[in-house]
Chains A and B, each alone.
Chain A
């Protein structure tokens, strides 16, 4: 054999081997056992799947406004362009009707779609990876049981270079850790159940952990809070007692907040109201309590020191203006001492969501008001009216400053510019 031919064969062999290695390393290949008998889904399994799909809040993203549940089409604005959420009804052509439970699990567990393409992490597979195979199969069985809807998926409208899915390989190396939830034997079964729900299906970290410019988040910063991209609400830290740290809440208060949407300590509005409305209100009391137990036990750490007394100085005329506005508009529901009438009207004194470093949420509440979600445990919630048309920027800044520092609250003053920035945004 000629030398060049031999080199060609060697190169070809290397090529095949390299291709094989690349093939084997490609994300999402799971060994699956063809001999395992596939049983037809039982009522029990479908019911369980429905419950778990609610715990995972699939419906919130996979349903267009006023559209059919799970038929997709909802635009999801991201800093990188708009994503259009796919149809996950069991339609054979436009939905997931042809998917097998293996393929569904691979998608949940590794973020790889049926056709092998990498999913954008708007799909919370970095969290869903913790979901067990049994639970994934139950969710699959439920989705197969709902009415199929023929509705074609819409192409994403992402900017260059984010429209290239291959770049996700890099993102995944940095930010994605595959693996089912491993129970911590040192903790109770209840704590472990709560951790499984919070870290997995609940995908709480999607909002409550800050994301960086690449849309990634780091595990060391888990649950430390962050602005929610494109929604202009701040998801408070769950690990800081100065924000929404739950260390000094009672278990029942946390469970109430999750399940009813109102509690003796605070109330959910905005994106969290949506989560409670679509998802958490359907949890069993046991699961809500388990989540509360886990959340309360999160290690409390404050990364920044409390504001200095210098930072908390307020001009007397601002304080007086804020007090006047408060007495005229707020006292009726929140009381002269800021104690509120909980759970109907939340307390403002000692309420961490008002005093936390970023004043976005309290400013938005004064401007736009809000109703907590109507839930099974609180179907007729009391609401707060908007004040954006009654109070000017100075008055809103003054009254928000007032509630951030009155009654021993530990917040810092806000200024009219911060109010104006939020006033010009449409409420979402």
Chain B
């Protein structure tokens, strides 16, 4: 291997940087206009969630843009306190105070970026029909309410604590429902999602995730206000 001394390399570097380097930027690359701004402060989030919270091309990380601020805040607090376990997030927010987490939550809640290209999940007809039924009508025989009963007719969530599901990737939806089912993820008591997830089979979970992935997100992605419907299950996060 050819080695040259560091000082030579540095000299070469200064020559090399003179022609302007074409920067490949994407939504996942750190960038901001003003140092003293929430955009600059939120740069710690962008390589996974995108500059405006739209998500990135990278597999698992969820879209957080436009989710209710109350929901995002609850998640940030849970990550900080360790009640929601995901080590990279637990580590990042470990020493951030409540008012700042609230500010970050409100920042991403206010974003309305375009949806990323959706990821399709290959489903057979039966699974597709099951997914559609669970999302839009529920399964009364199993005591399962429809997703849209709480997550909004357009699946854009409900103020203050229920997240939108539109635009979430199947891997993320499957991951979260499964974690709820096995007791690794919790929400404020009464934990309505625990009641629901424990009634879902693994097949149900992948059917729901597949159907959600194929739903075209609405143009107005704002969460619904909380006074439109009465929810079939009581949820601690809505109190």
Query: A273 touching B95 by the CB < 8 A rule?
Result: yes
Are A390 and B97 CB-contacts (below 8 A) given A309-B6, A313-B5? no
Number of interface residues of A (CB under 8 A): 50
Which one, A19-27, A89-97, A191-199, A376-384, is touching chain B?
A376-384
Can you list, as one digit per residue, whether each of A372-415 has a CB less than 8 Å from chain B (1) or not (0)? 11100001111111111110000000000000011110000000
Query: A371 touching B96 by the CB < 8 A rule?
Result: yes
Can you list, as one digit per residue, whether each of B82-125 has a CB less than 8 Å from chain A (1) or not (0)? 11000110111111110110010000000000000000000000
Partner of A65, one of B48, B82, B97: B82
CB-CB contacts below 8 Å: B42-91 with A: 42-48, 58, 81-83, 87-88, 90-91
CB distance from B169 to the nearest CB of A (A): 14
Chain B residue with minimal CB distance to A281? B95
Q: Give bound CA distance, A386 to B43, whole Å.
A: 10
Partner of B44, one of A65, A273, A384, A406: A384
CB distance from B230 to the nearest CB of A (A): 32
Q: Is A213 an interface residue (CB 8 A)?
A: no
- With a cutoff of 8 Å between Cβ atoms, the chain A residues found around residue B9 in the complex are 314, 316, 319, 405
Q: Give bound CA distance, A93 to B80, whole Å.
A: 31
Q: Is A7 an interface residue (CB 8 A)?
A: no
Are A277 and B2 CB-contacts (below 8 A) given A66-B82, A333-B43? no
Query: B4 touching A328 by the CB < 8 A rule?
Result: no
Can you list, as one digit per residue, whether each of A273-312 has a CB less than 8 Å from chain B (1) or not (0)? 1101100000000000000000000000000000001001
Query: B6 touching A314 by the CB < 8 A rule?
Result: yes
Can you list, as one digit per residue, whether each of B1-27 has a CB less than 8 Å from chain A (1) or not (0)? 111111001101100110001011000
Q: Which 8 A-B pairs have the closest CB atoms?
A: A383-B44, A373-B95, A427-B91, A385-B47, A277-B95, A374-B97, A426-B87, A65-B82
A residues at B contact (CB < 8 Å): 65-66, 273-274, 276-277, 309, 312-316, 319-320, 323, 327-329, 331-333, 336, 341, 344, 368-374, 379-390, 405-408, 426-428
Can you give 14 A-B contacts (C-beta < 8 A)? A66-B83, A274-B94, A316-B3, A332-B31, A341-B35, A344-B40, A370-B91, A372-B95, A374-B96, A379-B99, A382-B40, A383-B43, A385-B45, A389-B48
